Amino acid sequence: MIKKLFSRKLLAFVVATGALWLGTIDQSTWETVAVAYLGAQGLVDLAGAGVGWLKGKAEGTVLEASEDKK
């Protein structure tokens, strides 16, 4: 699901960049698409990092790592 969403966002960004290059859209419209793409990708990356952290915590790896420091 995330891969499909990623490719759709990337496709929208590439199409908007091409439209800007061709003069079909103006700079402010392209900026809106670019900010939406970067923000959405940041949320996907953050969610992925959170899931990885939660899996590590559930498996005890986070706790084990903190105990090793003591």
Averaged over 35-57, what is the pLDDT? 75
pLDDT surpassing 90 at residue 63: no
Contact in structure between 20 and 7 (CB atoms under 8 Å): no
10 CB contacts (<8 Å, ≥6 apart)? 37
d(CA 69, CA 44): 31
Q: Are 30 and 16 in contact (CB under 8 A)?
A: yes
Q: What CA–CA distance (Å, rounded) separates 20 from 36?
A: 16
Query: Could you tell me which residue, 12 or 22, shows the higher pLDDT?
Result: 22
How far is the C-alpha of 26 from the C-alpha of 37, rounded, in Å?
17
